[in-house]
Amino acid sequence: MRIADMSWSDVAAQVARDDRCVLPIGSTEQHAGLSLCVDSILAERVAVEAAEPLGVPVYPAMPFGLAPYFDAFPGSVSLRVETLLAVVRDVVGSLHRSGFRRILIVNGHGGNAPVGALASELMSGRDDLSVKFHSWWNAPRTWEAVQAIDPSGSHANWMENYPWTRLREEPVRTKPSVDRDLMRASNPAGVRALLGDGSFGGDSVKPDADMLALWAVGVAETRDAIEGPWPDRS
SS3 231: coil
Position 234 confidence tier, pLDDT thresholds 50, 70, 90:
low
Alpha-carbon distance of 74 to 86, in angstroms, equals 25
Say if residue 232's pLDDT is above 90. Answer: no
Write out pLDDT tens, residues 95-126.
999 999 999 999 999 999 999 999 999 999 88
Across all residues in the chain, what is the average pLDDT?
96
**What domains can be seen in the chain, in order of their start residue?**
3-227 (3.40.50.10310)
Say if residue 233's pLDDT is above 80. Answer: no
Average pLDDT over residues 20-37: 98
> CA 224, 31, 67 angle in degrees (round to 5)?
80
Average pLDDT over residues 71-99: 98
Position 9 confidence tier, pLDDT thresholds 50, 70, 90:
very high
Write out pLDDT tens, residues 191-223.
999 999 999 999 999 999 999 999 999 999 999
Strands across the sheet containing 130-135: 20-25, 102-107, 130-135
Average pLDDT over residues 162-177: 93
**How much of the chain exceeds pLDDT 90, in percent?**
96
Average pLDDT over residues 182-190: 97
**How much of the chain exceeds pLDDT 70, in percent?**
100
Say if residue 138's pLDDT is above 90. Answer: yes
Average pLDDT over residues 174-201: 96
Alpha-carbon distance of 172 to 150, in angstroms, equals 14
